[in-house]
């Protein structure tokens, strides 16, 4: 595919993923235009200045103030767009639990608005970001993302002959993203005490760059061929133990176990046993194929998964050591330098 002829709309464009996606796409893909859609004027201004300081031309990107809750604004933003990457969401578990209607409005109704606007505008490809918390969800955030996945997959049927194709990517905790566990541990290290909710806890771990690469893969696979749509792309990524992360960041600190919070799991899943029945292993990643595939859909060539397979963080075959985590946390800290952080636990 020729990226130089393509225009991209990125919702939630000023978040951690949005910033990384913008930098990588402008540097490596050089699209005709990248439209960064978000609702925070200040974050847009700061990101605009950062891009100019990095040497990117204003001809290659635009900023568009709007909210995915506003369907009319989305429709205006999608005029002339070829690809949509939907990253906008309320993602912090405690905030979603306390503000359930707000989470539904953004994560579910906002997703519906993206689907309708993309179909009406004749967008070719839409890729939505999801999370391991959408698998067998125990909190509202995970439940809203599960709903979003379902309607994006089914969006292919709604598109009909329009040809818009919808897919999702699903991955685990992102190293050093806003509100993640790493900034919290770094803050607590100065006080000499690290708080963890449960020492048995494990999580999947992925870098922002790996997350961007997965989204680009989901865009490029079968682009414009009409053979895909409805897939959920799952990366093969390592797991980590929360106690190892604490040792990596603050080995000299006391660990205070405060108890698991409402909405948290001990371990996260990326593929459930039921999903594994229609999932294929294509080497670098898994593809969950749609059970109700759109017309013209061609199955992926790959290995079927064995009966009873599930992809769970505590049963993973790849693990990050304390040394691995020290290196990764150092890199994520420099990548996120100067950005805001909020308090969260590993379950957020």
Residues classed as catalytic: 133
Query: CA distances (Å), 28 to each of 31, 172, 224, 305, 336, in order?
Result: 9, 24, 20, 34, 20
**Cα atoms in the 13 Å half-sphere on the side-chain side of 179:** 12
- In order of 109, 153, 188, 215, the CA distances from 147 in angstroms are 10, 10, 35, 20
What is the 3-state secondary structure of the chain?
CCHHHCEEEEECCCCHHHHHHHHHHHHHHCCCEEEEEECCHHHHHHHHHHHHHCCCCHHHEEEEECCCCCHHHHHHHCCCCCEEEECCCCCCHHHHHHCHHHHHHHHHHHHHHHHHHHHHHCCCEEEEEEEHHHCCCCCHHHHHHHHHHHHHHHHHHHHHHHCCEEEEEEECEECCCCCCHHHHHHHHHCCCEEEECCCCCEEEEECHHHHHHHHHHHHHCCCCCCCCCCCEEEECCCEEEHHHHHHHHCCCCEEEECCCCCCCCCCCEEECHHHHCCEEECCCEEEECCCCCCCCCCCCCCEECCCCCCEEHHHCCCECCHHHHHHHHHHHHHHCCCCCCCCCCCCC
């Amino acid at each position: 595919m020729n990226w130089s002829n393509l225009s991209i709309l990125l919702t939630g464009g000023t978040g951690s993923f949005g910033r990384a996606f913008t930098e990588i796409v402008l540097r490596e893909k050089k699209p005709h235009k990248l439209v960064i859609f978000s609702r925070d004027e200040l974050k847009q201004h700061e990101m605009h200045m950062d891009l100019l300081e990095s040497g990117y031309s204003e001809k290659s990107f635009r900023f568009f103030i709007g909210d995915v809750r506003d369907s009319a604004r989305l429709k205006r933003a999608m005029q002339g767009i070829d690809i949509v990457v939907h990253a906008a969401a309320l993602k912090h578990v405690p905030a979603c639990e306390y503000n359930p209607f707000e989470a539904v409005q953004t994560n579910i109704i906002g997703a519906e608005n993206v689907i309708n606007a993309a179909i009406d505008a004749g967008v070719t490809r839409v890729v939505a970001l999801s999370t391991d918390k959408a698998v067998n969800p125990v909190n509202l955030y995970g439940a809203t993302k599960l709903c979003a996945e379902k309607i994006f997959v089914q969006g292919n049927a709604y598109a009909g002959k329009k040809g818009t194709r919808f897919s999702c990517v699903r991955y685990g905790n992102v190293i050093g993203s806003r509100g993640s566990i790493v900034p919290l541990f770094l803050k607590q290290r100065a006080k000499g005490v690290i708080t963890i909710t449960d020492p048995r806890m494990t999580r999947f771990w992925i870098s922002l760059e790996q997350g961007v690469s997965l989204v680009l893969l989901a865009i490029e696979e079968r682009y414009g061929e009409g053979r895909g749509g409805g897939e959920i792309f799952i990366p093969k990524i390592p797991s980590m133990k929360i106690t190892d992360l604490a040792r990596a960041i603050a080995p000299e600190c006391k660990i205070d176990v405060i108890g698991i919070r409402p909405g948290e799991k001990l371990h996260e899943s990326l593929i459930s046993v039921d999903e594994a029945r229609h999932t294929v292993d294509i080497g670098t990643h898994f593809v969950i194929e749609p059970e109700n595939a759109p017309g013209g859909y061609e199955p992926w060539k790959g290995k079927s998964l064995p009966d009873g397979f599930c992809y769970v963080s505590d049963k993973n075959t790849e693990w990050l050591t304390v040394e691995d985590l020290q290196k990764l946390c150092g890199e994520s800290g420099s990548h996120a330098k100067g950005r805001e952080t909020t308090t969260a636990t590993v379950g957020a």
